[in-house]
Chain A
Amino acid sequence: EVQLVQSGAEVKKPGESLKISCKGSGYSFTSYWIGWVRQMPGKGLEWMGIIYPGDSDTRYSPSFQGQVTISADKSISTAYLQWSSLKASDTAMYYCARPRYSSGWTFDYWGQGTLVTVSS
C-alpha cells in the first residue's frame, strides 16, 4: 500500500528555520516524483515544487523559487521542505503528494499534511 507520512505540526517564530518531512513507503521511492502543495488557512491549493528522488532533479513554482528548498534522502525514502527564515505568511498546511504520469501527472497519493504556524 502506497503511503506518504508527514512529520508533525510545528509552531515557530518569525526568522526561525524549519525542515518538514514526507516519508514514502509501499512503492519505489526513487522512481516517482514527490511534490509539495501549500494551503493557507481557508484558502485553496498552491503547487510549490517537486523533486525526483532518483537524481534529486528539482523544479519550483515561480511563486516559491528562492523562498523554500526541496530536497530528498533516498536512503530513507524521505522528501523535505525547508525554510531558512520563516515569515508569518508561511503559516499554512503543507501537503506532500505523488504525481503519476499514467494518470496525466495528477497527484494520486497525498500525505496527511503538516500544519506550520509562524507566530511571535
Chain B
Amino acid sequence: EIVLTQSPGTLSLSPGERATLSCRASQSVSSSYLAWYQQKPGQAPRLLIYGASSRATGIPDRFSGSGSGTDFTLTISRLEPEDFAVYYCQQYGSSSWTFGQGTKVEIK
C-alpha cells in the first residue's frame, strides 16, 4: 500500500501570503492519479486538483498543483480568508485509494 506523507502538519500564514504544501509518496505514483482536496470544519471534502495539476471545476486559479513520481506540491498563490482549511492529498492505484494525513492552513 502506498503511504502519503504530508508536510508540514500545520502552516501558519496571513491572508495574501503564499502557501506551499507538500505530499510525498512511499513509492512512485502516476501523476494521473494524484489529487488534492480541501476540507473546512463541518463540511465534506472538496476536490481541488486532479491529475496532479488540473484544477477541478470552479476552483480559482490561485490554486495550483505540481510534481511527479514521489513528490507533489499544492500551492496557493495568495491566501484568501476562505482558504484557511485542511488540505489532503490522495492517490489511486490498483483499485485502492489512500489519503495523506492532512495539512492544516491556519491564520497567523
Bound Cα distance from A44 to B39, whole angstroms: 10
Contact B50 A104 (CB under 8 A): yes
Q: Are A104 and B35 in contact (CB under 8 A)?
A: yes
A35 at the interface (CB under 8 A from B): yes
Please name all residues of chain B whose beta carbon is closer than 8 Å to the beta carbon of A50 when the two chains form the complex: 95, 97
Measured CA separation A106–B90 after assembly (Å): 8
A44 touches B99 (CB 8 A): yes
Closest to B86 in A: A44
Contact A104 B44 (CB under 8 A): no
Question: Once the chains are docked, how many angstroms separate the CA of A94 from the CA of B54?
Answer: 27
Indicate if B101 sits at the interface (CB-CB under 8 A).
yes
Does A13 lie at the interface of the complex (its beta carbon under 8 Å from any beta carbon of B)?
no
In contact, B99 and A104 (Cβ under 8 angstroms): no
Instruction: List residues of chain A with CB within 8 A of the CB of B15.
Output: none
Contact of A46 among B33, B56, B99 (CB under 8 A): B99
Note all chain A residues with C-beta closer than 8 A to B37: 45, 107
| Contact status of A104 and B32, CB under 8 A, knowing A45-B99, A47-B96, A59-B96 | yes
- Flag A34-45 by CB within 8 Å of B: 1 or 0 each: 010100000011
Contact across chains for A103 and B50 when beta carbons are under 8 A apart: yes
The answer, among A97, A104, A113, for a CB contact under 8 Å with B34, is: A104
- Residues 5-57 (chain A) with a chain B CB within 8 angstroms: 35, 37, 44-47, 50
Q: Is B45 positioned at the interface, with any CB of A under 8 Å from its CB?
A: yes
Are B92 and A104 in touch, CB under 8 angstroms? Answer: yes
A37 CB to closest chain B CB (Å) equals: 8
Q: Are B45 and A110 in contact (CB under 8 A)?
A: yes
Whether A1 sits at the interface, judged by CB under 8 Å, is no
A77 adjacent to chain B (CB < 8 Å): no
What's the Cα separation between A82 and B90 when bound, in Å?
Answer: 25
Interface digits, A95-120 against B, CB 8 Å rule (1 contact, 0 not)?
10101000111111011110000000
Contact of B98 among A47, A59, A110, A113 (CB under 8 A): A47
Task: List 5 A–B pairs whose Cβ atoms lie within 8 Å, in order of A's numbering.
Answer: A50-B95, A95-B44, A106-B50, A106-B56, A111-B44
List the 5 shortest-distance A-B pairs measured between CB atoms, nearest first.
A105-B92, A110-B44, A47-B97, A106-B35, A45-B99
